[in-house]
A and B are shown apart, each in its own frame.
Chain A
Amino acid sequence: MAQQSKEKINWDGYLTLAGAILLVLVNVLLISGKMPAYYRGILGFVGINIILAVSLNLINGITGQFSLGHAGFMAIGAYVSALISIHLKWPLYLALICGGLAAAFLGIVIGLPTLRLKGDYLAIATLGMGEIIRVVLLNLDITKGARGLTGIPRTTSIYLVELVAFITIIFMVNLMRSTHGRALLSIREDEIAAEAMGINVTYYKVFAFAAGAFFAGVAGGLFAHLMGYIAPKNFDFMRSIEILVMVVLGGLGSITGSVIATIVLTILPEALRGFAEYRMVLYSALLIVIMLFRPQGLMGTRELQIEEVRKIFSGGGDKDARD
């Protein structure tokens, strides 16, 4: 029996190990200043997308509420923090937190009525919300409408993006293991049963919505201060879809899945530059192929864990009961 289980390769463990080594390598390159600006730029967008995807995963994957308005929350965070930086000249971290709080507040205000809806209906309501935010931004004077907001101090550093992405992931992992996380999972699995067990379903749904919106808002703030220029066009419906694709591709409910999918999907369009006009065709074709072969997403609902790495070193996987 021991012989058999030894032959079973512990892929999760190796993947985690490779990921950890990659992370160290990337940071060594960053700190030593050897990383070209091109890769550094892409890395920044990867980090921001990770925050967005992981926070959307909280709403869509973990709590099971289908939201299509994530770009809207990102827009609120981006505009609020950018306007604070421009007009009040507050330091970046305060601007980011305010942006996040504004998005979270909106998440609560919008979440309370709309989260009574389920499935497709909720998807449409959140889609509408995202569009309303975009149209409001287009028509306000303070946001300069379609001209976009210029002159935002470009203070986002790649380390800050990394740090916030790290905090987001830690928050989600800890949340998943807490009472609150279990409550969210139970709502995904069976709302009626969860309510029967004494879980305040409305409270937890709104909580997930607000927390997801907060991180999306912070990501928006980072984006604004990275680009120095934002326009409502940056936060349209397609942006929401892009984030959703990352979550679905990674596996609804898997945080590490979201991270891996985000890295792949952010780097892919750049890696395919050599194919010129056919780039986006290839990109879409790859998406289709992946979804055909892994409809549950790259990781399903599994997670990569340090625990798995230890199994490699302590002599191969014993019973691999994980699915």
Chain B
Amino acid sequence: MKKKGLWILLIVLALAVVVYFAFFTGKGEKTSVDEKIVKIGFIGPLTGPAASYGTNAKNGAVLAVDDINASGGILDGAKIELITEDNKGDTTETVNIMNKLIEQDKVVAIVGPVTTGPTTVAAQMAGENKMPIVSPTATGDKITQISEFVARVCFYDSYQGPVMAKFARENLGLKTAAILYDSTNDYSMGLADSFALKFTELGGEIVAKEAFYAGDQDFNAQLTNIAAKNPEAVFVPAYYSDDAQILLQAKAMGLNAIFMGGDGWDSQELINGAGDAAEGCYFTTHYSSADTSEKVQEFLKKYREKYNAEPNFAGPLGYDATLLLADAIERAGEANPVKVNEAIVATKGLTGVTGEFSFDEYRNPLKEVTIATVKDGKFALVDKVRP
């Protein structure tokens, strides 16, 4: 009987050794990647509350890869392979994905993450692993300061807040403004602060500042407080689902002010949700589908053909981030992450769908901000400004 037990132990141990050698050894030596393929990773929320941005960014990135591969690829005919991973907008998942992309897939660079929280975590890991990441849409002010391996193609929060403040003060000539922001959201807070700062600096006055929580359905209390101060403009830096509700409720109580916001407004859902109430509002965004420039229209045509849907701003930004990486890999001359990052930093005057950009010292793009409005139930381009 005792012998039987020993035998079992031996068999289990032998199995363990086999498993050990099968899974964990030899992986390190398989570094000779097929020379004709350059792998790029993509991280974004393809499920969960931010999925609409993640999916759009992914679609944009896939389009860019298709375009580049169709026109002969990079580095003398190598094809780009995009490896997409879903992080649900979650930081823990992002850590796992970063490790996986760097180690298992051996990517050269990564497009993403899409939202600011996960990008903060990914940025630390990018620095530690010397892996360049380019976020299409993470607008948090400080994320690119975390490591020199982080860049982005969207403008940051305190870049667009002042643009709207300047537009409200100088182009529309407004003197008083109220702010209604989402205090559970870092993006909303960043925009609210930078708008307030610039607006008062230009001689305007912030007469009311009210907060709400993401997921609130009833904004009447805050809107009543705002209406009591009778401001000419109400700045609402929030996402379209909240914005639509706010616009509807403000109209219902007869609050007569110009509503304005940031790139979170840029979704067809805003017009679908708010209807008439959205008329005449202004918001800053990354690009406008009403822009008649050739680049934008060509992108829209391809996007509609492939996905049979309208992109929001994350689509073109995903496209541009991928384009930027491909361009950097080409200029680096080889698929080496550190060299690619040097090339990213040196990017000058690259023209993407969302405009022409170069980088500032923290790898934030210096580019035009689009101001859009809603006119007759459609988005319309108002102006493109450089701050």
Residues on A close to B: CB < 8 A?
Answer: 14, 17-18, 21-22, 25, 29, 34-38, 40-42, 45, 135, 138-139, 145-148, 150, 154, 227-229, 231-234, 269-270, 273, 276-277, 279-280, 312-316
Contact = CB atoms under 8 A, between A and B. Distances in A.
Contacts of A35: 24
A131 B194 CA distance: 29
Nearest to A28: B20
A219 B99 CA distance: 22
Contact of B120 (A135, A148, A269, A280): A148
B128 to A, nearest CB: 9
A229 B91 contact: yes
A227 B2 contact: no
B117 interface: yes
A146 B185 contact: yes
A148 B141 CA distance: 13
Contact of B9 (A17, A228, A315): A17
Nearest to A41: B99
B342 interface: no
Contact of A147 (B85, B146, B189): B189
B6 A313 contact: yes
Interface in B10-66: 12-13, 16, 19-20, 24-25, 27, 46-47
A21 B6 CA distance: 14
B24 to A, nearest CB: 5
A194 B189 CA distance: 52
B2 A313 contact: yes
Contacts of B93: 269
A14 B12 CA distance: 10
Contacts of A313: 2, 5-6, 9
Given A42-B96, A231-B117, A34 B186 contact: no
Interface in B264-293: none
A36 B117 contact: no
Contact of A276 (B6, B86, B121, B140): B86
Given A150-B120, A229-B91, A18 B96 contact: no
B104 A38 contact: yes
Interface in B60-100: 84-86, 88, 91-93, 95-96, 99-100
Top 10 A-B pairs ranked by shortest CB distance? A315-B1, A313-B5, A38-B99, A147-B186, A146-B186, A37-B99, A41-B99, A229-B120, A38-B100, A146-B184
B85 A273 contact: yes
Given A34-B24, A150-B120, A269-B93, A312 B104 contact: no
Contacts of A138: 183-184, 213
Nearest to B97: A273
24 contacts: A21-B13, A36-B104, A37-B99, A38-B103, A138-B213, A139-B183, A145-B186, A146-B183, A147-B186, A148-B120, A227-B95, A228-B124, A229-B91, A229-B117, A231-B117, A231-B186, A233-B117, A269-B93, A270-B100, A280-B88, A313-B5, A313-B6, A314-B5, A315-B2
Contact of A148 (B6, B24, B100, B186): B186
Contact of A229 (B121, B184, B185, B188): B121
A177 B190 CA distance: 53
A36 B121 contact: no
A146 to B, nearest CB: 5
B121 A228 contact: yes
B8 interface: yes
A314 B6 CA distance: 10
Given A38-B99, A277-B47, A17 B20 contact: no
Contacts of A37: 99, 102-103
Contact of A41 (B6, B96, B124, B184): B96
Nearest to B124: A228
Contacts of B4: 315-316
Most chain A Cβ neighbours within 10 Å, of B12, B92, B102, B185: B92
Given A35-B24, A146-B186, A147-B186, 14 more contacts: A40-B99, A45-B95, A138-B184, A146-B183, A146-B188, A146-B189, A148-B186, A154-B124, A228-B124, A229-B91, A234-B91, A280-B47, A312-B5, A315-B1
B297 to A, nearest CB: 30
Nearest to B101: A38
B142 interface: yes
Contacts of A135: 213
Nearest to B5: A313
A21 B120 contact: no
A29 B25 CA distance: 10
B184 A232 contact: yes
A229 B103 CA distance: 22
Interface centre among B93, B95, B190 (most CB of A within 10 A): B95
Nearest to A49: B92
A36 B103 contact: yes
Interface in B139-156: 140, 142, 146
B112 to A, nearest CB: 15
A145 B183 contact: yes
B92 A227 contact: yes
Contacts of B13: 21
A38 B92 CA distance: 12
Contacts of B86: 276-277, 279
B96 A38 contact: yes
Given A269-B93, A276-B86, A17 B12 contact: yes
Given A17-B9, A138-B183, A234-B91, A145 B189 contact: yes
A21 B12 contact: yes
Contacts of B6: 313
B121 A227 contact: yes
A270 B213 CA distance: 32
Nearest to B142: A150
Contacts of B183: 138-139, 145-146
A45 B189 contact: no
Contacts of B92: 45, 227, 234
Nearest to A279: B86
Contacts of B103: 36-38
Contacts of B185: 146
